[in-house]
Structure 1
Amino acid sequence: MHTDLARRASLLPQLAHARNPGMALDLDWVASVQANTSAIERRAASLPGRRSVKKDWQAAWLCKAVSLIDLTTLSGDDTPGRVQRLCAKARQPVRADLLAALGMEGLTTGAVCVYHEMVEVAVRALEGSSIPVAAVSTGFPAGLSSYRTRLAEIGDSVAAGAAEIDIVISRRHVLTGNWQALYDETAEMRAACGAAHMKTILATGELGSLRNVARASLVCMMAGADFIKTSTGKESVNATLPVSLVMIRALRDYHARTAFRIGYKPAGGISKAKDALVYLSLMKDELGHPWLQPDLFRFGASSLLGDIERQLEHHLTGAYSAANRHPIG
């Protein structure tokens, strides 16, 4: 069981499912997409109270959440030592004694996410673990460097060993309704990723409306995205439940029409175990069990892991420990 858990934590979508090849841009489909903001917000507001898991079931869901984390460091003061410590935490995300008590030996995070400069460091630190390295790219976080430079960044990170590339879209294309430009850029970036799978960051807090979020999600999937991701984590508003509901339903519509499954990654602002449980229940309700695996769902987070570890210790001992007993890097 534990070997299978570790194996699934490293699966890429194109290995577990037929990879999304994209499709021709369908502007009629894009134009037909609407978003009833008030209804979406009501549904999102109801989520935290609709699903509640306790005791052993909560511990199991929290272990599942750990396996879905892209453990992330994206700071200007990142050093090789910091990245190596983060990778050690990805290999052993929860204290060994807690995992042994839970019967979850072998649990790892889903991936480690770093800037390009730290890709080689992370790849070496994770050697032999089957945990993939994800690199943020294409002028992250603003996406405003030259187009040639953004494409070159992708190639450089893939060459350095990144198995996943988190690209950022040009927000201006969404805000001006230039869907052809968004499609063309995203398709070229997908081609530049080659065998590495591509997570497309929409920066939803800067897109202006939920309708824009829905349309941008659809266009990126048409262009071949393997995942759609909410945020860079650097915007003033990052992952939210209303945005997640819109993006998840776009995934459902795309799958219904094309039969291809696209992954989802909420990122930024998810720092508490209870928040992770809400997102997991949302995925379960809207998309079902296939989207509760690392090949189709990830959390972009760092501090989330620390809180989950504290909650697991509380489950086992009945007492909360100090946060410094659960370092994450």
Structure 2
Amino acid sequence: MTSPQPRNPGTALTLPWFEDIAVNTPATEARAARLVATRPLRGEWRAAWLVNAIRCMDLTTLAGDDTPARVARLCAKARRPLSDPVRAALGLDRLTTAAVCVYPTMVRSAVHALDGSGIPVASVATGFPSGLMPLSLRLEEIRHAVGEGAAEIDIVITRAHVLRGDWTALYDEIAAMREACGAAHMKAILATGDLQTLSNVYKASMVAMQAGADFIKTSTGKEAVNATLPVSLIMVRALRDYGARTGVRIGFKPAGGMKTAEDALAWQILMKEELGRDWLAPCLFRLGASSMLGDIECALESHVTGRYAASHRHALA
């Protein structure tokens, strides 16, 4: 089972920590590009990092036609993400994904399908993906998902608060959501593709952490632009700064737009270079992607057999 980090107690809203921040976008993009270009991974090292990506993956289905049967198939994949021959050849006794993420109405089905596995169920909530619902309804949706058995809640913020620079409104909203989560860990989705500037991304990240978010997450996966390395670099710099001020470690979850094994390596390299090895564990790092699992499976089967498998051999559900 994924061992959770201690909850983030949050702080009072502290504007001097972030309100004068200005991000140099070209420098950020150049740094992100250098990270990946200068850290090639080959052979057994590459295989080990891909296995770790599976350990840190939130296997997700967020489709309008989700059914209990589809969720059950996804949960079976979470329990057994690699075929037995490939897993055995890699010397792995047991391997699961970090969590399964579903809509609130599918939480009970996922909890039932994962019974005894130790894999937690995460649920999106708060009017996902837009968040454009009255706050009272968004809080009730959180409480419903937790009552159904969700151990983690992925909330979405009101983007307009960020675009207007209304940090008090954003803080109060996220703090209320954090309270509604109860014992469940909360991941704050910033929908960075809607926030217009990297400076806004940094500020929203800092407010979310001050309000008690246990993870900050890039995207819903439904925006026109989802997780990118430059955005992710700014977010991990924000959580590094927050940790330096408070001593509290906050997790990070990129989501959306990541489809390949190389993507899985790139984001892990970012975490290792910016934050260190501790952030390569599922208690502090998640990959919000399901489609990349098939490509990772193909890559690991190629490593084991010397032959690259067809993608249809590794269908998700």
Category of TM-score, reference length = shorter chain: over 0.9
Deviations along 1:105-148, whole A, 9 cap, x unmatched?
A: 21000000000010000000000000000000000000001111
Aligned to 1:87: 75
Distance 2:74 2:230 in 1: 31
Q: Deviations over 1:241-293 (max 9, x none)?
A: 00000000001000001000000000001110011101101100000011110
The answer for the alignment partner of 2:153 in structure 1 is: 165
Contact residue 96 and residue 105 of structure 1 kept, 8 A:
no
Residue 23 (structure 1) shift? 0.3
In the TM superposition, residue 322 of structure 1 has moved relative to its aligned partner by 1.1
Equivalent residue number for residue 8 of structure 2: 20
Identify the match of residue 226 of structure 2 among 202, 215, 238: 238
Corresponding residue SS for 2:249: coil
Which residue among 133, 144, 149 is the counterpart of 1:145?
A: 133
2:268 corresponding residue in structure 1: 280
**Cα shift at 1:48:** 2.2
- Note if 1:11 corresponds to 2:3: yes
Contact 1:72 1:113 in 2 (8 A): yes
Residue pair 1:306, 1:328 contacting (<8 A) in 2 also: yes
Equivalent position SS for 1:167: strand
- Equivalent residue letter for 1:184: D
Alignment partner of 1:262 is 2:250: yes
Q: Secondary structure at the match of 1:299?
A: coil
**Shift of residue 327 of structure 1?**
1.6
SS of 1:301's partner is coil
Provide the rounded CA distance (Å) in 2 between the counterparts of 1:285 and 1:29. 23
2:170 alignment partner AA: L
Deviation of residue 34 (structure 1)? 1.9
**Distance across 2 between alignment mates of 1:106 and 1:123:** 20
TM-score, with normalisation over the residues of structure 2?
0.99
Q: 2:306 aligns with which of 318, 323, 326?
A: 318
Structure 2 residue corresponding to 1:73, chosen from 42, 52, 61: 61
Report the counterpart of residue 93 of structure 2 in structure 1: 105
Partner of 1:32: 20
Name stretches of at least 5 consecutive residues in structure 1 with no aligned partner. 1-6
Distance 1:96 1:322 in 2: 17
Identity %: 62
Between the aligned partners of 1:80 and 1:101, the Cα distance in structure 2 is 33
For the 8 Å contact 1:139–1:168, the answer to whether it is kept is: yes
Cα deviation code 1:170-222 (max 9, x no counterpart): 00000000000000000010000010000000000000100000000000000
TM (norm. structure 1) is 0.95
Deviation at 1:102, TM superposition (A): 0.4
Helix, strand or coil for the counterpart of 1:198?
A: strand
The 1-side partners of 2:188 and 2:305 are apart by 41
Number of matched pairs: 317
Note the C-alpha offset of 1:27.
1.2
**Do structure 1's residue 187 and structure 2's residue 175 form an aligned pair?**
yes
Q: Secondary structure at the match of 1:59?
A: helix
| SS of match in other structure, 1:51 | coil
**Residue 60 of structure 1 aligns to a residue in which SS?**
helix
Distance (Å, rounded) in 2 between the aligned partners of 1:96 and 1:119: 28
Aligned equivalents of 1:188, 1:147: Cα separation in 2: 9
Quote the offset at 1:325 in angstroms. Answer: 0.9
Residue 215 of structure 1 corresponds to 203
CA contact 1:306–1:326 (8 Å) conserved in 2: yes
- State the secondary structure of the residue aligned to 2:19: helix
Runs (4 or more) in structure 1 with deviation over 4 Å come to none
Whole-angstrom CA distance in 2 between matches of 1:230 and 1:75: 19
RMSD between aligned residues: 0.7
Question: Match of 1:136?
Answer: 124
Quote the Cα distance in structure 1 between the aligned partners of 2:47 and 2:93: 14
Distance 1:105 1:66 in 2: 14
Q: 1:284 & 1:122 partners in 2: Cα distance?
A: 32
For residues 142 and 208 of structure 1, the distance between their equivalents in structure 2, rounded to whole angstroms, comes to 16
Secondary structure in structure 1 of the residue aligned to 2:216 = strand
Question: What residue number does 1:48 align with?
Answer: 36
**How far does residue 20 in structure 1 lie from its aligned partner after superposition?**
1.3
Q: Which runs of 5+ in 2 are unaligned?
A: none
* Residues in 1 aligned to 2:74 and 2:106: alpha-carbon distance in whole angstroms: 11
Residue type matched to 2:190 in 1? L
